[in-house]
Amino acid sequence: MKIHLKIWRQKNRNTPGKLKDYTLTDIIPELSFLEMLDILNEKLLKKGEEPVAFDHDCREGICGMCSLYINGRAHGTEQSVTACQLHMRSFKEGETIYIEPWRAKPFPVIKDLIVDRSAFDRIIQAGGYISVNTGSAPDANVIPISNEKVKEAFDAADCIGCGACVAVCKNASAMLFVAAKVSHFALLPQGQMEKQLRVERMVAQMDKEGFGACTNTGACSFECPKNISLDHIARLNREYLSAKLTS
């Protein structure tokens, strides 16, 4: 299978980047997208050229590291998958594939296709945790929780923090990410003690990082590889309003 690649190359965040052309002629359809990039890098190294820098870790759709903009779509053209789960059979013989990093001011490019997503880490550090003593695991497990609440909490906990929601939003909003983290704890008894302080701190940190406002276009949920629901953004707004009224 022959493919043409246009890949964003950028030495660092202070150096202008540009798309560079590459051609591969021996790609089999069963390869994953990241395996294809591995083959490209092997060829570049053999020629004494610098390989393309890109993020990856588990390659199982769990870690969210493979943050690539492929042909104008976050994680590629397949629905509900990360870039590492995308396979070359999704592309046509001779197709030109555009590969770029996330485009958002809070996610500056480190090198080539790697962006700095530490803004998400700082949002979590601001309040995305439970610090109160909830007892040992057996004690926590005896607290009755409705099946409906459990399902909603698990849906929110599915968020892998890949940043696709930010990349596809016209405002570079992080509302879906923050909403998932707030909603996860807001639905569980263990998270009730700090829920007001949590939502205020996380939203304040989100604004401090420079993420844009949500205008409810729904692109974030549509492109999310874990299908995080927009319902969580509605819950975030309710939790934030309640916290502000009672704090």
Domain ranges for the chain, please list them.
Answer: 3-111, 119-246
The DSSP bridge partners found for residue 24 are 3
The DSSP bridge partners found for residue 87 are 32
In the chain, the percentage of residues whose pLDDT exceeds 70 is 98
Q: What is the mean pLDDT of residues 175-198?
A: 93
pLDDT at 138: 66
pLDDT digits (tens, 9 = 90+) for 72-123: 999 999 999 999 999 999 999 999 999 999 999 999 999 999 999 999 999 9
Entry pTM: 0.93
pLDDT exceeds cutoff 70 at 134: no
- For residue 145, name the pLDDT band (cuts at 50, 70, 90): confident
pLDDT at 4: 98
- Sequence-distant (6+) residues with CB within 8 A of 25 are 2
What does pLDDT average to over the chain? 94
Name the CATH architecture for the domain at 119-246: Orthogonal Bundle (1.10)
**Token pair 């698990």 in the structure block, residue:** 154
- For residue 142, name the pLDDT band (cuts at 50, 70, 90): confident
**Secondary-structure class of domain 3-111 per CATH:** alpha beta
DSSP letters along 60-117, please?
SSSS-----EETTEET-SSTT--GGG-BGGGS-TT-EEEEE----TTS-EEETTEE--
Q: Which helix (H) or strand (E) holds 196?
A: helix 195-209
- For residue 144, name the pLDDT band (cuts at 50, 70, 90): confident
pLDDT at 20: 98
